[in-house]
Amino acid sequence: MNKKEKVQFVIDTLEELYPNPPIPLSHTDPYTLLISVLLSAQSTDARVNQITPILFAKANNPYDMIKLTEEEIRAIIKPVGLSPMKAKGIYGLSKILVEKYGGDVPSDIEALESLPAVGHKTASVVMSQAFGVPSFPVDTHIHRLMYRWNLSSGKNVVQTEKDAKRLFPRELWNKLHLQIIYYGREYSPARGWDINKDLITRTVGRKSLLQKKSS
């Protein structure tokens, strides 16, 4: 199986398993998605989805958010971890959105990346899921699976994103990155991985990994 065939097998298998993958973070608009994605750093989507209703009941837009203090935000979001940094980022970016963008989240990746606590992955998720702009946010699941599938070197997420964008059709990026995340969680986790349940890796993956798991 050559690389082109591997890519098509991945696409076909994921489409069969996850024809309509939902966005895992609960949100109602670009702002609440941006805050949710920021909160998800080194946390789980499930934990974030438990906390955001509490936060958004007090402030679901940047105007109301800056009426809170960083300490008040921090107290609410503490269960998701890294609360001092995240609270500072939420307050800081909300202030900028009010002062510079009229309260709107910009639909430009460079503008998003210039906001406090917003990195490339967070900006890419917002571009993809809020604005429908083809993007390929790479999280730990995608980084792990692209390596296991022998579609990327696994050196770093920057290279993984370049490889994903090079190999997969642009029109599939927004859906495919969600499909890979769901597949990783269900069939190819970092811990407790059973290659016998991991159809894609068994079919297209690295021989070294296959041999290691079968030994």
Tell which CATH classification among 1.10.1670.10, 2.60.40.420, 1.10.3720.10, 3.20.20.80 matches the domain 3-21+136-214. Answer: 1.10.1670.10
> In 157-180, which positions are buried (b, 16+ CB within 10 angstroms) versus exposed (e)?
beebbebbeebbeeeebbbbbbbb
112-162 pLDDT, tens digit each? 999 999 999 999 999 999 999 999 999 999 999 999 999 999 889 999 999
Residue 83: how many CB atoms within 10 A of its CB? Answer: 18
CB 21 within 8 A of CB 175: yes
Q: Where are the domains of the chain?
A: 3-21+136-214, 30-119
Query: pTM for this one?
Result: 0.91
pLDDT at residue 213 is higher than 60: no
Looking at residue 90, its pLDDT comes to 98
Range 157-170 average pLDDT? 97
What CATH number has the domain spanning 30-119? 1.10.340.30
pLDDT digits (tens, 9 = 90+) for 23-40: 999 999 999 999 999 999
Name the residues annotated as catalytic. 121, 139
